């Protein structure tokens, strides 16, 4: 978690150190050339939608488009929980607990 005034992409380099798998899925805030390059250096595929302000768009990755759609739907549903959309919790541990409970409720639905 970052402070409210700090953009989350500023800590992307620290998060990428711990990344594992074949693909890295992120939202439009991570659509930067340096993030995509770092992901490529790790041998992963960047599954990141294009930011609306980007002038040159890359061709969409058809292989992960269905997975990305399902994940975007999940995050949309997750943000419908007020405690997730507006994190009032003071610690990362409490916010993680809220995320876990909301995810379980969505899974049981």
Q: Tell me phi and psi for residue 81, to 5 degrees.
A: -80, 125
Alpha helices for the chain (secondary structure H): 12-16, 33-41, 65-78, 82-85, 92-108
Which whole-number Å values give the CA distances from 76 to 69, 71, 84, 87, in the listed order? 10, 9, 11, 15
pLDDT per position as a tens digit, 5-47: 555 666 677 778 888 888 887 777 777 888 888 888 989 888 8
Q: Tell me phi and psi for residue 58, to 5 degrees.
A: -90, 155
Q: What is the pTM of this model?
A: 0.58
pLDDT per position as a tens digit, 34-84: 888 888 898 988 887 777 777 777 666 666 677 777 777 888 888 888 888
Q: Once rounded to an integer, what is the mean pLDDT over residues 95-108?
A: 89
């Amino acid at each position: 978690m970052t402070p409210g005034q700090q953009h989350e992409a500023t800590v992307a380099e620290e998060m990428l150190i711990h990344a594992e798998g074949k693909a890295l899925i992120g939202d439009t805030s991570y659509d930067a050339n340096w993030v995509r390059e770092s992901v490529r250096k790790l041998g992963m595929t960047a599954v990141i939608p294009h930011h609306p302000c980007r002038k040159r768009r890359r061709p969409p990755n058809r292989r992960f488009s269905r997975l990305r759609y399902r994940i975007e739907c999940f995050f949309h549903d997750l943000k419908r929980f007020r405690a997730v959309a507006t994190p009032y919790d003071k610690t990362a541990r409490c916010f993680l607990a809220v995320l876990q409970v909301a995810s379980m409720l969505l899974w049981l639905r």
